[in-house]
Amino acid sequence: MTTDKQDEIPEDQTLLNLPDKTPDEARAEHKKRHWKLPKDEEILAAIIVVMERSRTIESQNRLRRLVVEELQKNDPEYSTTPEKVRLLALRSGHVRVEVKTREDDVGRPAKCPVCRTTMERLKNKTLTGTTVTIEWRCPLCKYWTGKKLRIPRHYTFYAIQPRKSKRRTVLRAFQ
């Protein structure tokens, strides 16, 4: 009894029915099909809507998830990264961030690890007249670090704009 190998190969895997695209092309098409990057203005608008609704958001990933849900109301293929959402939120002026950190070995940050702004030195003069850098501060988000490098490990986001209160509106109506 001889079995013919040709009979065992499914018809869709023969040389005549190979896919038209290489694996790289198929991957590129898959990525293109499943998500798109929104403009910064669209992300910022979604951040403002989310922060007005939630007022406090306990993590960077949760903020990203809520922003992506808001973006996908306009286009279901929109997506973005947590870091991009954090940076746009900080630079918008509508969000304040609280950063919990851990200490690491001695290091000098070139840019702020929270908002990517250039850090400013806080200097002090010693008794001998030389200047020494005491700490590094970020002018935008108020992150700081000293001799030991403080590395962000958790972000909490707060809305800055005051919430419109119905009570104030009612009180003003009676004045």
**Considering the domain boundaries, does residue 109 fall inside one?**
yes
**Considering the domain boundaries, does residue 28 fall inside one?**
no
What pLDDT sits at residue 125? 92
**Considering the domain boundaries, does residue 10 fall inside one?**
no
Are 151 and 106 in contact, with CB atoms under 8 Å apart?
no
What pLDDT sits at residue 20? 63
Distance CA 72, CA 37 (A): 11
Which pairing describes strands 148-159 and 95-106: parallel, antiparallel, or unpaired?
antiparallel
List the 56-57 sheet strands across, edge first. 56-57, 148-159, 95-106
Tens of pLDDT, residue by residue over 73-129, are 998 888 999 999 999 999 888 899 999 999 988 777 889 999 999 999 999 999 999
Q: Which one is predicted more confidently, 14 or 119?
A: 119
**Full residue range of the structural domain in which residue 114 is found:** 35-161
- pTM here is 0.67
What pLDDT sits at residue 110? 83
What pLDDT sits at residue 140? 87
Tens of pLDDT, residue by residue over 125-171, are 999 999 998 899 999 888 999 888 899 999 999 998 655 555 554 44
**Considering the domain boundaries, does residue 62 fall inside one?**
yes
**Considering the domain boundaries, does residue 11 fall inside one?**
no
Which pairing describes strands 144-145 and 148-159: parallel, antiparallel, or unpaired?
unpaired
Tens of pLDDT, residue by residue over 47-56, are 999 999 998 9
Specify the 3-state DSSP secondary structure of 119. coil
**Considering the domain boundaries, does residue 171 fall inside one?**
no
**Considering the domain boundaries, does residue 44 fall inside one?**
yes
Question: Residue 49: which residues within 8 A CB-CB, separation 6 or more?
Answer: 70
Instruction: Give the total number of structural domains in the chain.
Output: 1
CA distances (Å), 70 to each of 38, 46, 73, in order?
12, 6, 6
Distance CA 119, CA 140 (A): 9
Distance CA 43, CA 27 (A): 26
**Considering the domain boundaries, does residue 141 fall inside one?**
yes
- Please report where in the chains the tokens 């809520």 appear, as a residue: 66
